[in-house]
A and B are shown apart, each in its own frame.
Chain A
Amino acid sequence: MEYVFHFGDIWEARDELLDGTLLTLRLSAVSMVLSLIVAVIGAFARTSGPAWLRGIVAAYVELIRNTPFLVQLFMIFFGLPTLGVRLDANTGALIAMVLNGSAYTIEIVRAGIESIGHGQTEAALALGLSRLRIFRLIILPQALRVVVPPLGSQFILLMLNSSICSVISADELTAATQDIQARTFRPFEAFIVAAGIYLCLSLAFSGLFAAIERFAFGAPAEGRR
């Protein structure tokens, strides 16, 4: 049988696709910002905090990085209610994404911090600056500059990971696509369109990160990448 492509049904469901895309975009953008904040705090704690705090952050990073995202998602959505914490699907998805994304970004930011020569910290200490001020004014700006490219690709992975959230009934792009294909029985058409949208989102995000790198940190230095 020659398969005949019909994109008409998908076009009729464009509002649903748009809603899904917007939720994917919102989930990704919010979780990117939040996990960057968590990453900076976590990386500071992991490099300059007291031993017990370093231990906690390390345990968190290892726990999250060594368990599948799907399992974390189920734990939050189906596990937490038994402890009395009930989150709706979209909130649960967002929390899972921040929790998951942060573990990876902490390690990236930490690597950035450790790439800055220790001599700078010693010099600043000799000048009488506090640990926090050294981190905020000297280490962090340089570290962030180094980690923008790996952070960017981690954030795009985070965005693509949001597709898994359809299993807990969060209405993001993949969920919308699944609904459309289940209703119209046009799986190829629906998923081709979804793949196209994800591709556009990824390209847009990587363009945004490149722009941030260029304007916030100056032109990328040759040889650093």
Chain B
Amino acid sequence: MKRLFQILAAAVLLAGLSVLRPAEAQTIDEILSRGTINIGVLVDLPPYGILNAQQEPDGYDIEVAKLLGGYLGVKVNLVPLTSPNRIPFLLTNKVDLIVATFGITPERAKQVMFSIPYSAIENVVFAGKDKKIAGIQDLKGLRVGVPRGTVQDVILSKTLGSAVKLARFDDDPSTYQALLTGQVDAIAETGLTGDKFYDSHPEGGIERKFTLLQQPNGITMRKDQFNLHQWVNTFVYFTKNNGELNALYEKWFQKPLPNLPVF
């Protein structure tokens, strides 16, 4: 009887969770009157987001986030995220928006709202020099590492299904490390980050194989933040036109901002 009561109490507790209302609207006015904006960023994806020598978040995304806060005239509170918990943090209201190299896809847009693109990323397959991999079909039968739930994860599982053995990791550094230690045969990851990492580990003998896709990234909000969304789009449009975004891009990537299509 006592046991039954315990189980019932646990069930009631779980049911209670479902009446919580985790996400609530966050408008420009609310942010302005609060005086701070909470922005989710990645700190494990150089040069998009890193921790600098002072252990503070730094990188292209972080500078864009600071620029955004500067134009809003509020204090920026940076919240470090990992790639799988980007949407949960946003939906549970822990951050107001995220600037976290988040690729724009229709699947994601069912849950969140994207601004027009502010950066682009190259998704590249890396593997050892001895492996002959020229296209996606060559990955059949191999163990391929991806960060969980990323665009490359979806592409590979949709195209190859069970023909490829995907190893999903919780963050980017584990994915890069898994290839270096030979735990996987190949990985699909961010091109520039991979170049930097594998250049500093030449003993791994790892090189770029082919580009999976070019992915434009958007600043991401909850899907009911229309008011904030309109302002963020205006911010991206403006800083693209006045060259500020390009200057940041050149600082971190040593090349000009690629042509970013808008929607």
A residues whose Cβ falls under 8 Å from a Cβ of B: 1-3, 5, 77-78, 81-82, 86, 88-89, 166-169, 175, 178-179, 181-183, 185-188, 192, 195-196, 199, 203
What is the CA–CA distance of A5 and B111 in the complex, to the nearest angstrom?
Answer: 12
What is the CA–CA distance of A168 and B177 in the complex, to the nearest angstrom?
Answer: 11
Using Cβ atoms and an 8 Å threshold, which residues of chain A touch B168? Answer: 169, 175, 178-179
Q: Which residue, A1, A89, A175, A195, has most C-beta atoms of chain B within 10 A?
A: A1
- Tell me if B129 counts as interface (CB < 8 A to partner A): no
B residues whose Cβ falls under 8 Å from a Cβ of A: 7, 10, 14, 17-18, 20-25, 84, 87-88, 91-92, 107-108, 110-112, 145, 148-150, 153-154, 167-170, 174, 177-178, 181-183, 222, 224
A77 and B183 in contact, given A3-B23, A169-B178 (Cβ under 8 angstroms): yes
Which listed residue, B24, B108, B178, touches A185 by the CB 8 Å rule? B108
What is the CA–CA distance of A214 and B148 in the complex, to the nearest angstrom?
Answer: 44
What is the CA–CA distance of A199 and B6 in the complex, to the nearest angstrom?
Answer: 12
What would 8 more interface pairs be, CB under 8 Å, given A3-B21, A185-B108, A199-B10? A77-B183, A78-B178, A86-B183, A169-B178, A178-B149, A178-B168, A185-B87, A188-B22
Using Cβ atoms and an 8 Å threshold, which residues of chain B touch A188? Answer: 17-18, 22, 91
Q: In the complex, how many angstroms separate the beta carbon of A68 from the nearest chain B beta carbon? A: 16
Contact A82 B169 (CB under 8 A): no
What is the CA–CA distance of A178 and B112 in the complex, to the nearest angstrom?
Answer: 18
Using Cβ atoms and an 8 Å threshold, which residues of chain B touch A181? Answer: 84, 87-88, 149
Contact A185 B112 (CB under 8 A): yes
List, sorted by A's number, 18 A–B pairs whose CB atoms are closer than 8 Å: A1-B224, A3-B20, A3-B91, A5-B18, A78-B178, A78-B181, A78-B183, A86-B182, A88-B183, A89-B183, A168-B174, A169-B145, A169-B168, A179-B149, A179-B168, A182-B153, A187-B91, A203-B7
Contact B17 A192 (CB under 8 A): yes
Which listed residue, B23, B107, B149, B177, touches A1 by the CB 8 Å rule? B23
A89 and B167 in contact, given A182-B153, A187-B87 (Cβ under 8 angstroms): yes
Using Cβ atoms and an 8 Å threshold, which residues of chain B touch A86? Answer: 181-183
Q: In the complex, how many angstroms separate the beta carbon of B200 from the nearest chain A beta carbon? A: 16
Contact A1 B110 (CB under 8 A): no
Using Cβ atoms and an 8 Å threshold, which residues of chain A touch B111? Answer: 185-186
A82 and B181 in contact, given A167-B174, A196-B14 (Cβ under 8 angstroms): yes
Give the nearest-CB partner of B108 in chain A: A185
Contact A185 B110 (CB under 8 A): yes
Q: In the complex, how many angstroms separate the beta carbon of B174 from the nearest chain A beta carbon? A: 7
Contact B178 A187 (CB under 8 A): no
What is the CA–CA distance of A183 and B154 in the complex, to the nearest angstrom?
Answer: 8
Q: In the complex, how many angstroms separate the beta carbon of B120 from the nearest chain A beta carbon? A: 21
Contact A78 B177 (CB under 8 A): yes
What is the CA–CA distance of A81 and B20 in the complex, to the nearest angstrom?
Answer: 45
Give the nearest-CB partner of B89 in chain A: A187
What is the CA–CA distance of A92 and B10 in the complex, to the nearest angstrom?
Answer: 33
Give the nearest-CB partner of B149 in chain A: A182
What is the CA–CA distance of A178 and B153 in the complex, to the nearest angstrom?
Answer: 13
Using Cβ atoms and an 8 Å threshold, which residues of chain B touch A185? Answer: 87, 91, 107-108, 110-112
What is the CA–CA distance of A94 and B260 in the complex, to the nearest angstrom?
Answer: 46
- Give 6 nearest A-B pairs by CB, closest first: A182-B149, A185-B111, A81-B181, A169-B167, A187-B88, A1-B224
Q: In the complex, how many angstroms separate the beta carbon of B146 from the nearest chain A beta carbon? A: 9
What is the CA–CA distance of A82 and B7 in the complex, to the nearest angstrom?
Answer: 47
Give the nearest-CB partner of B181 in chain A: A81
What is the CA–CA distance of A187 and B153 in the complex, to the nearest angstrom?
Answer: 18
Which listed residue, A78, A167, A199, touches B170 by the CB 8 Å rule? A167
Q: In the complex, how many angstroms separate the beta carbon of A199 from the nearest chain B beta carbon? A: 6
Using Cβ atoms and an 8 Å threshold, which residues of chain B touch A203? Answer: 7
Using Cβ atoms and an 8 Å threshold, which residues of chain A touch B107? Answer: 183, 185
Using Cβ atoms and an 8 Å threshold, which residues of chain B touch A2? Answer: 21
What is the CA–CA distance of A167 and B92 in the complex, to the nearest angstrom?
Answer: 23
Contact A179 B148 (CB under 8 A): yes
What is the CA–CA distance of A169 and B222 in the complex, to the nearest angstrom?
Answer: 29
A192 and B169 in contact, given A1-B25, A183-B149, A187-B88 (Cβ under 8 angstroms): no
Q: In the complex, how many angstroms separate the beta carbon of A186 from the nearest chain B beta carbon? A: 8
What is the CA–CA distance of A185 and B110 in the complex, to the nearest angstrom?
Answer: 8
Contact B7 A182 (CB under 8 A): no
What is the CA–CA distance of A195 and B170 in the complex, to the nearest angstrom?
Answer: 19
Using Cβ atoms and an 8 Å threshold, which residues of chain B touch A77? Answer: 183
